């Protein structure tokens, strides 16, 4: 149990700016996802931080397969 906590303490957390840069969206968009609880983050005072695995889970949840999400008029 102690080892797991030590591993979590050493993991690299991402800032909203870093997430935005990786996804090529604005930092404002990342903050909106955090406020809407679409993206899981940790609020430390006024600062938000995102674990890499939470970003991966967000991307998995928002993945769209070919042909999904399009109206039939766009095909």
How confident is the model at residue 74, as a pLDDT?
46
Mean pLDDT by 10 residues, the chain (75 residues): 59 95 98 98 97 97 77 50
How confident is the model at residue 1, as a pLDDT?
62
How confident is the model at residue 24, as a pLDDT?
98
How confident is the model at residue 16, as a pLDDT?
98
Distance CA 61, CA 56 (A): 9
Q: Are 51 and 11 in contact (CB under 8 A)?
A: yes
CA distances from 50 to 8, 38, 63, 72 (A): 12, 12, 19, 36
The predicted model scores a pTM of: 0.74
CA distances from 74 to 62, 63, 67 (A): 20, 19, 10
């Amino acid at each position: 149990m102690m080892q797991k906590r030590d591993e979590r303490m050493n993991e690299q957390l991402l800032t909203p700016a870093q997430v935005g840069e990786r996804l090529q969206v604005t930092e404002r968009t990342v903050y909106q996802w955090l406020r809407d609880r679409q993206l899981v983050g940790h609020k430390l005072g006024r600062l938000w931080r995102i674990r890499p695995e939470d970003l991966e889970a967000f991307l998995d949840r928002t993945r769209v397969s070919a042909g999904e999400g399009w109206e039939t008029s766009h095909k």
